[in-house]
Structure 1
Amino acid sequence: MKRLDTLQALPGDAAFDLLVVGAGGAGLAAALFAALRGASVLLVEATGHVGGTTALSAGTSWIPGTRQGAQVNPGDTLAEAARYLDNAIGDRADRALREVLLAEGAATVDELEAQTEMKFRAYPRHPDYISDLGGSTLAGRALEPLPFDGRRLGALFALLRPPIPEFTVLGGMMVDRTDINHLLGMTKSWASFRHAVALLARHARDRLGHPRGTRLVMGNAHVARLLYSLAQREEVTLALDTRLVELERGATGVDAAVLVQGGERRRVRVRGGVVLASGGFNRHPERRRALLPGIDIGWCPGAPGHTGEAHAPAEAVGARYGEGAMSPAFWAPVSRRVRPDGSIAVFPHFVMDRAKPGVLAVDQAGERFVNESTSYHLFGLAMQRAGAVPAFLVCDAAALRKYGLGMVRPGGRGLAPFLADGYLVRGETLADLARALAIDPARLAATVERFNAHAEAGHDPDFHRGETAYQRNLGDPAWPGPNPSLGPLAQGPFYAVRLYPGDIGAAQGFATDADARVLDASGTPIPGLYAVGNDMHSAMGGVYMAPGITIGPGLVFARQAARHAAARVPASGKP
């Protein structure tokens, strides 16, 4: 891979087989699949880092029917996956898109594993989110990237978007769920002790020569593996801090683009087409006001490059947004805190706290409004429907020590800074906590009393918490009560953090066909224009029905786009 430090290095008649706009997970994959087919690729990224929100995520890819999935769930079938998709999505998205996901998913993974550095595994238990729907499964469809040694990237390591600092420990050490379990259990088993000591020793060595840990997991591992694979391909040219400002449509379709880098402006010709993979509309001020009214941009934990700036040039050549999605965005409850450097930490509450025993969520009236163990997407939507903004995630002292709360780590130590800046609110009694949160003490006490009675019985008739396999999986498997997701708030002091509905990605984007070709107002594909990742209208119809339903389709449709675009390149233009 070649680095293009300045657009001035491009000749005036520069031409590439493919222009990929955006170097997040889907854009990197599109560039890689095109390079595997011998196409010359110019990959441009509007920020100074690669990886987008994929680099900040868990890095899971939902792709049924793979060899890796069969190792943990040999009984699963594509027919069952199709049934689940039909039940979950219905007519919110074109059925042809999910048919491609099922038909091409395994081949996508196989090609990556055979020809690149991408390596996957299926976690032994990773349920679909709506696990009470027909066709759902408890494991085998969600793939995770294997950890990656960032030192192999050499100088490219600095280009990789770092993870959210609050998702790391000890000054930049990344940990996944396996690591967390070993760290928490290092005094309880020899295996956990050895695993934890090896992690800590590796991180200590890393900090001697690197600004953060180089053992990469989750989304950072996914992106690093794509980047390392691209680094081996001479067909690819990477330009950072470079924006798309114009597309040109000629007799054969989109055949040129205008790029801007600093004060430099360059026109490049494209033979096969342009792939939009810029991350979606989320940080575009006007589109945000129109599609996400009332949702503060400060609640979005996504990467900074998702400005939607590349969408206007696409619309100028006829592209249109899709319609009918469950929601224009995907959601998670988030909490916010000012970091020492003045930046704002936006922390998504995915799995670590809200579904654990001794934790519940209330609105500003002190009443429950949601099943706390539902998916983060449905939790965020429930907050908006109930007007619970902010909401409060409340726990007792025992739950705080065991599970942590948001950015507060398990163990119950080091609370002073969180209490001092107001991120964490404490009350010696529930009444004290209620007054600190400006909630009616009697109403909060009544809510907790009712919740505690249901927790003791192990059944939640109000919101049915912990009744599905997915919800119980989020609970505490070591909990001695009848429901691993339900436990009373019994031991003071009591704590709370404020929650806001955070948009974690765009679900509404450009309408496409099964080859990821962007459609115009008549439903006709625009030759030479493709959209993948969150620039593409969600193949899931805005339904977050499983882990990895953005990254998985991002890979599959990146391959579809790359194959189709590479086939458009005239034979005389191919290497």
Structure 2
Amino acid sequence: MADALPMPADPLRSDWDVVVLGGGAAGLAAALFAALDGARTLLIERSEHVGGTSALSAGTVWIPNTRHGDASGNADSPEQALAFLDAAVGNRAPRAIRQAFLEAGPEAIRRLEEQTVVRFRARPFHPDYLYELEGSVSGGRALEALPFDGGALGRALRKLRPPIPEFTLLGGMMVDRDDIGHLMNLTKSRTSFGHVARILSGYAVDRLRHGRGARLVMGNALVGRLLRAALDAGVTVATETEVTDIAGDGAARTVTAKRGGREVQLTASGGVILASGGFARHPQRRAEFLPDPLPEYSPAAPGNTGALHDIALALGARYGEGAEQPVFWAPVSRRKRRDGSMAVFPHFVLDRSKPGIISVGRDGRRFVNESLSYHQFVAAMYAANRDGSTIPAFEICDADALRKYGLGMVHPGGRGLVPFLADGYLVRADTLAELAGLLEIDAAGLAETVERMNGFAETGEDTDFQRGTNVYQRANGDPKHGPNPTLGPIRTAPFYAIRLWPGDIGAAIGLETDTDARVLGPDGAPLDGLYACGNDMHSVMGGVYPAPGINLGPAIAFAYLAARHAAARRS
């Protein structure tokens, strides 16, 4: 694997068919597809690691009507999937773009699996988030990469972005939803005991051999497989390389790049594909597009600076319009690590929907159905944030819920709480009134809220926010708890709380493109030889989050379309 830009004396080494800018899942997929089509392909990554935010994510890829979906037992069709997206997205993004996505997605998955080491499986039960809409399904559309032995990457494993530390165990052992289930049943099942023993022993060996966990799951598995496949296909990967300019009139694009103080010009006869992760860390765009108060911290990868957007806009590109939300959201909790860095923990499904856990504002009252998707949850935080009343919000539970489900970075079991209490991440009190005082929220409002929730727990019906009323919401509860798997009493002292803040996990606003992922200019015509995919491309979902994996699914589909078109243009 190339760790740096090739800068030989022979100028031919600076000629490429396709140059891809960005090393997340979108960029790796685009480079891979271009190479599979016979293009001499260079992938440039600004940071030290490839993988981007994709490597930090759950790695879910939402693509309806693949062979995996067909085998999952869930009835689906292209017409049903389109009806679902029509209902969810409406006119917030062009219908032709989502049609192109639904057509290209299964083709992209099939080609990956037939020609590379990339392998997926479908969860038979992984519901669409907006399950109440026409065309939704309870499973089959959400794919995940099979676990991957990172040792197959050799030295390139060093270049793979490691997962968020707080999502690992023992200082770096990655676990997925299957592993979590086995860990919870460790002392109750021989099968679970054996599974945990195997991954623990494997992790110990990996630390000695590679210096990190090499059993890759979730987003690391997806990126690891794409990286191995790209290298096998002949893609040259250049990390720690900054692109400072893109020029050319479309016949061929010229990329100016810099690494270690040296500058080189590269030609791309087929085109340049932007896949740098979006504008999320661009200070000007962030202030322009995001609501007030601006999220202070994000769990996204640090390389999403939006610098390439400035270059594309100077070439005549334009941003898409009409998105419901400018970014995709997740509530996050924050805690300073020992090294002084900030841990930003996204609250996806592990705690918010569990029985005995609620979220309130400063008035002590709920403002949202806690079982909604993480994106909808933060949108509700902003909608209700009068005079700072719900930013931050407060996630509250009792001792029983903490022990069963954990709370943010606090793992289930109720042990090891001292450091979390000492630094204030976790707040504990013997009474609800005392807890309200420590949080500086309204004690009477909190007491009334808890009393109402305890009543809802008995009846199974949340008459305030209808929590747990559809398949998706109930799926994130506790299936062993009834009558409603998301509603439980809050009675057992001590009581606990953490603070939740808005966090952006990916840009929804991006560069406007056509159905081949070609970037469009001010007159609506394509800027020849310039493409965008992933979060650099205006979201096919129009800032709506209808299902799990709606970032990565379109990223791979439009990487496929962009690469196919660019490879066909090469001279």
For normalisation by structure 2, the TM-score amounts to 0.97
What's the counterpart of residue 286 of structure 1? 284
Off by >6 Å, runs of 4+ in structure 1: none
Moved more, 190-199 or 402-411: 190-199
Q: Report matched runs for 1:56-455 at 5 Å.
A: 56-234=56-234, 236-250=235-249, 252-253=250-251, 255-296=253-294, 298-387=296-385, 388-455=390-457
| Worse-matched range after superposition: 66-75 or 338-347 | 66-75
**Displacement after TM superposition at 1:232 (Å):** 1.1
Residue in structure 2 matched with residue 509 of structure 1 by the alignment: 510
Tell me how far apart the structure 1 counterparts of residues 519 and 154 of structure 2 sit (CA, whole Å): 37
CA distance in structure 2 between the partners assigned to 1:10 and 1:520 by the alignment = 36
Q: Give the aligned residue type for 1:175.
A: V
CA 394–4 in structure 1, closer or farther in 2 if over 3 Å, else same: closer
The residue type paired with residue 19 of structure 2 is L
In structure 1, how many angstroms separate the alpha carbons of the residues matched to 2:295 and 2:80?
38
Distance 1:305 1:297 in 2: 17
Further displaced range: 204-213 or 548-557 = 204-213
Match of 1:573 in 2: none
CA contact (8 A) 2:4 2:241 kept: no
**Structure 1 stretch 331-340 or stretch 257-266: which is displaced more?**
257-266
How many angstroms apart in 2 are the aligned matches of 1:348 and 1:408?
13
Deviations 1:491-549 (A, max 9, x none): 11000010001000000000000000000111111100000000000001111100010
Query: Does the 8 A contact of 1:21 with 1:45 survive in 2?
Result: yes
Q: Secondary structure at the match of 1:298?
A: coil
CA distance in 2, matches of 1:417, 1:215: 29
Query: What's the offset of the Cα at 1:441?
Result: 1.4
Q: CA deviation at 1:295?
A: 4.3
Shift of residue 233, structure 1, vs aligned partner: 2.3
Aligned-partner Cα distance in 1 for 2:544–2:516: 21
How far, CA to CA, are the matches of 2:449 and 2:177 in structure 1? 32
Between 1:561-570 and 1:28-37, the stretch displaced more is 561-570
Find the residue that maps to 1:492 and give its secondary structure.
coil
Aligned-partner Cα distance in 2 for 1:169–1:486: 29
Q: Is the contact between residue 283 and residue 297 of structure 1 (CA under 8 Å) also seen in structure 2?
A: no
Gaps of 5+ in 2: none
Q: Shift of residue 70 of structure 1?
A: 1.1
Match of 2:53 in 1: 53
- Provide the rounded CA distance (Å) in 1 between the counterparts of 2:430 and 2:251: 67
- Cα shift readout 1:349-407 (whole Å, capped 9, x = no counterpart): 00100000000000111110010000000001111111110000001100000000000
Aligned residues: 566
The Cα of 1:451 is off from its aligned counterpart by 1.5
Q: Distance in 2 between matches of 1:466 and 1:446?
A: 21
Give the partner amino acid of 1:482: P
Q: Who is 2:539 aligned against?
A: 538
Shift of 1:299: 2.2
> What CA deviation, in whole Å up to 9, does each residue of 1:30-79 have, x standing for no partner?
00000001101111000000000000000010000111111113521111
Unpaired stretches in structure 1, ≥5 consecutive residues: 571-575
Distance 1:115 1:7 in 2: 27
User: How has the CA–CA distance of structure 1 residues 386 and 254 changed in structure 2, closer, same or farther, with 3 Å as cutoff?
Assistant: farther
Contact 2:5 2:241 in 1 (8 A): no
Amino acid at match of 1:305: G
The one-character-per-residue Cα deviations of 1:231-266 (angstroms, maximum 9, x if unpaired) are 2123x211111122111122x455211112231121
Distance (Å, rounded) in 2 between the aligned partners of 1:254 and 1:83: 39
- The offset of 1:296, in angstroms, is 4.1
1:71-112 alpha-carbon deviations (Å, 9 max, x no partner): 113521111111111110111111111111111221111100
- Equivalent residues of 1:284, 1:307 under 8 A apart: yes
Provide the rounded CA distance (Å) in 2 between the counterparts of 1:4 and 1:267.
18
Structure 1 letter corresponding to 2:129: Y
Deviation at residue 7 of structure 1 after TM alignment: 5.5
Matched residue type, 2:92 = R
CA offsets 1:165-213 (integer angstroms, 9 cap, x no match): 0000111110000100011111112221221121112112222233321
What is the aligned-residue RMSD (CA, Å)? 1.2
Q: Supply the distance in 1 between the matched residues of 2:110 and 2:341 (Cα, whole angstroms).
A: 41
| d(CA) in 1 for partners of 2:259, 2:179 | 41
Pairing 1:418-497 to 2, within 5 Å after superposition: 418-479=420-481, 481-497=482-498
Q: How many Å apart are 1:120 and its aligned residue? A: 0.3
Residue aligned with 2:197, SS:
helix
Contact 2:74-2:137 at 8 Å conserved across structures: no
Q: Secondary structure at the match of 1:91?
A: helix
Q: For the residues of structure 2 that align with 1:441 and 1:211, how far apart are their CA atoms? A: 49
Question: TM-score scaled by structure 1?
Answer: 0.97
How many angstroms apart in 2 are the aligned matches of 1:82 and 1:202? 43
Give the AA of the match of 2:123: Y
* Distance in 2 of aligned mates of 1:471 and 1:239: 43
SS in 2 for 1:383: helix
CA contact (8 A) 1:249 1:317 kept: no
Instruction: Report which stretch shifted further, 34-43 or 100-109.
Output: 100-109
What are the Cα deviations for residues 460-516 of structure 1, in whole angstroms up to 9, with x where unaligned?
11111000100000000011x210001111111000010001000000000000000
